[in-house]
Chain A
Amino acid sequence: MGRLNSAAELEKLREEILTKRDPNKPCVTICSGTGCHAYGSEKVAEAFVENIKSNGLQDKVDIRRTGCHGFCEKGTLVVIFPEEICYLRVRPDDIPEIVSTTLIEKKVVDRLLYEDDDGQKITHESEIPFYKHQSRMIFGNNRLIDPTNIEDYIALGGYAALSKALSEMTPEGVMEEVKEANLRGRGGGGFPAGVKWETTRDAPGERKYVIVNADEGDPGAYMDRSLLEGNPHSVLEGLIIGAYAIGSHEGYIYVRQEYPLAVENLNIALKQARELGLLGSDILGSGFNFDVKIHRGAGAFVSGESSALMTAIEGRVGEPRPKYIRTAVSGVWDRPSNLNNVETWANVPLIINNGARWFADIGTEGSKGTKIFSLVGKVKNTGLVEVPMGMTLREVIYDIGGGIPGGKKFKAVQTGGPSGGVIPEKFLDLPVDFDELTKVGSMMGSGGMIVMDEDTCMVDVARYFINFLAGESCGKCVPCREGIHQMLKVLNRICEGESGDEDLELLDEIPEVLGDAALCALGQTACNPVLSTLRYFRDEYEAHIMKRQCPAGVCKALINYYIEPEKCQACMICLRNCPVGAIDGGKNLIHTIDQEKCTKCGTCLEVCPTRFGAVIVLSGVEVPEPVPQGTEVARG
């Protein structure tokens, strides 16, 4: 492949790629995203290569290792084209059967298909409920692309938007299109991207920067990672288009070093784009020059904040600064710098290709397009989902996520990461968009959606986030450094059963000061986890404080494990597994827990066979006297 010098040459290359590809040739795609990788997708891929070779099919079947498909719960995922047969939970041992049955005999391996609640098997990916209710505009191509091969991206129409922007549109035209589409920042704040672009373009100074924020730090969110790993060119194309509109010739991609595969795939993508003249000087013969550097972040949550991120790019400690002057005007080396999140950039090519009207038709009044969420926690179908803005939480959690596992009851969903809040059951029919989530005291954030069931303690959840933020506060401003620490102390007291009545008052007061006085968004929003749990689950706080009771049975200091004598079958399992030897009993003798010795590790509860269910958690009540040692099990 040589350098492309015009839009026409790109189209010619696309035609060549499509001509040499036979759409009817079987292709095995193997999800190699982080989740599937953890399940051992690498071994599955190797087994395919081996088995296809030993059956002499290497010229008749293609194998493609793709990025994340999204349905992480059922990894390793394998989809066989052209039929789109979707196999779930594939292990290396399954490969010989898949090769002989599906690739050779053209039949389906039933046992690896999705099975719905009624026991019906579903063959095709697009018919599985998890996928059926989504609209995967941004994320959908992940499953069709080998991220290390630019040809795959070009074959699907990649870089057509860039080519259109450079050859048919003025920079102002591109900017207007993005403004009209009302694309709002996917990183959390939801600020209109077009407006930000315009500020940077109009700011004084010749040298301007465009930056991709891939410092995805929210615990429990991995959308950006999957997009960068699985489809890096889509982000890059958006960035180049943005640079053209803004008049920038240098860009940065700020990626966490914790995402080594994203860095690797980006480096490959940049190299391939440069070779084709899609990046560098005189892009597609248009006279427009632009190039990108990758900056690896070294692990600091606060460095995802715009001013902190830009300081880090300069090689210094990534602390935020007051933003009387926006980074869009004065950012990296005090030059105008436009920062957008990974997903925001990936939306740009879609808008240019399809037009602002098309984009603005998707979503709600104030929030257009789709949003990718990482649907995790106590939900049946863990994974990455992309839905149009405005879909209700209930649809996302139940129709796509399959509801709560283990017959448990839904309690709340947490969105927006540590700056967000919890949303209780009564708001399940809330349409998900930027403004609606803010109204109920949470926020969109970058797209983490953590489902919690009745076994989750909301005080503990607040403590978890505050503890996280206490560790991540950079310490530059006093309200954040001290305020978060004080909140944590109060929450620790509550969870450890040492709280007093004044603690609730303190939790009402501290957030107010933090919100007003902290320097950056980390501190200003740090109170949200506390405020939202207090707002909807105040009774749980009160139970902890007044009754020394943890209703969910989570806070160690407030619970006791107890074996119900009438249910104990003296099976010896808990007794053998207790790490501190706190369980007395023997063969045929009812087991009892020595509360003095018990460290409340929960092992007995975990190992007690569910058909007995003899171990229970008590909170806020006296532990009944144990049955006398040596009491035999009454077997009826």
Chain B
Amino acid sequence: MVQDVAQTDEIIDKYKGDKSSLIQVLLDIQHENRWLPRDALMRASQRLGIPLSQIYHVATFYKAFSLMPRGRHSVSVCLGTACQVRGAPRLLDKVTEKLEIEPGETSEDMRFSLETVNCLGCCALGPVMVVDGEYHSSPSRKELDVIADACE
């Protein structure tokens, strides 16, 4: 908790405590922790002089923010239009079946978080899935097993 406060202070100092930097501050907190811990948000509220309710308004509006801890490995399935017409829904079915979580969820053992994204800009590989920054083009069920097994 103390750590959340110290980290938040450091981030806010970078933006010179400017109120209008709220979204940038939250992005940095999210980046450091992979989610927005409540203590960090309360500290941001104090330091920036913005009501906590307003901070939650912002934190729940944007997709980049998570109010729940995220898993160790992030899995994204692209549902951009190009991937969609090349069979992304089928890939998503396979992935949800394999990981046993729905998009937006984190597995109980905190191993995986699954999300869908709208375009990753590599449409030639579609349908595409990204695991911890590694791209996988149209993986088969067997390949999915291998990819998942490689994640601790």
Taking Cβ atoms with an 8 Å cutoff, the residues of A that contact B are 34-35, 37-39, 72-73, 75, 217-222, 225-226, 257-258, 295-301, 312-319, 374, 376-378, 382-383, 414, 417, 448, 450, 452, 456, 461, 464-465, 468, 474, 577, 579, 601-603, 606
**Cα–Cα, bound, A606→B141 (Å):** 11
Chain A nearest CB, measured from B9 CB (Å): 18
Known: A257-B64, A464-B84. A382 touches B121 (CB 8 A): no
A377 contacts which of B24, B82, B135 (Cβ < 8 Å)? B82
Chain B nearest CB, measured from A575 CB (Å): 14
**Cβ contacts under 8 Å, B47 to chain A:** none
Contact B26 A226 (CB under 8 A): no
Contact B125 A377 (CB under 8 A): no
| B22 at the binding interface (Cβ < 8 Å) | yes
| B152 at the binding interface (Cβ < 8 Å) | no
Chain A nearest CB, measured from B146 CB (Å): 15
B21 contacts which of A315, A450, A606 (Cβ < 8 Å)? A315
Q: Give the residue name and chain of the B residue nearest to A72 (CB).
A: B124
Contact B21 A376 (CB under 8 A): no
**B117-144 interface (Cβ within 8 A of A):** 117-126, 128, 135, 137, 140-141
Q: Give the residue name and chain of the B residue nearest to A382 (CB).
A: B124
Contact indicator per residue, chain B 69-95, by CB within 8 Å of chain A (1) or not (0): 000000000011111111100100110
Chain B nearest CB, measured from A316 CB (Å): 7
Contact A315 B63 (CB under 8 A): no
**Cβ contacts under 8 Å, B26 to chain A:** 298
Taking Cβ atoms with an 8 Å cutoff, the residues of B that contact A are 19-24, 26-27, 54, 57-58, 61-65, 79-87, 90, 93-94, 97, 117-126, 128, 135, 137, 140-141
**Cβ contacts under 8 Å, A414 to chain B:** 81
Contact B85 A450 (CB under 8 A): yes
Q: Give the residue name and chain of the B residue nearest to A294 (CB).
A: B24
Known: A220-B81, A295-B24, A313-B20. A38 touches B122 (CB 8 A): yes
- Interface CB pairs A-B, < 8 A, 12: A38-B128, A72-B122, A219-B79, A219-B118, A220-B80, A297-B23, A301-B118, A312-B23, A376-B81, A450-B85, A456-B85, A464-B84
**Cβ contacts under 8 Å, B57 to chain A:** 317
**Cα–Cα, bound, A195→B19 (Å):** 33
**Cβ contacts under 8 Å, B125 to chain A:** 35, 38-39
Contact B124 A300 (CB under 8 A): no
Q: Give the residue name and chain of the A residue nearest to B25 (CB).
A: A315
Known: A38-B128, A39-B125. A222 touches B119 (CB 8 A): yes
The 10 closest A-B pairs by CB, nearest first: A222-B121, A220-B81, A299-B63, A298-B62, A38-B135, A376-B82, A376-B123, A382-B124, A315-B20, A219-B80
Contact B90 A317 (CB under 8 A): no
A219 contacts which of B22, B94, B119 (Cβ < 8 Å)? B119
Contact B23 A296 (CB under 8 A): yes
**Cα–Cα, bound, A151→B71 (Å):** 42
**Cβ contacts under 8 Å, B128 to chain A:** 38
A452 contacts which of B83, B85, B121 (Cβ < 8 Å)? B85
**Cβ contacts under 8 Å, A417 to chain B:** 81
**Cβ contacts under 8 Å, A220 to chain B:** 80-84, 119, 123
Contact B62 A300 (CB under 8 A): yes
**Cβ contacts under 8 Å, A450 to chain B:** 81-82, 85
Known: A72-B124, A315-B20. A601 touches B81 (CB 8 A): no
**Cβ contacts under 8 Å, B141 to chain A:** 577, 579, 603
**Cα–Cα, bound, A280→B135 (Å):** 39
Contact B62 A219 (CB under 8 A): no
**Cα–Cα, bound, A258→B78 (Å):** 13
9 more CB-based (< 8 A) A-B contacts, given A378-B85, A464-B81: A295-B23, A296-B24, A377-B85, A377-B86, A382-B124, A383-B124, A450-B82, A474-B61, A603-B141
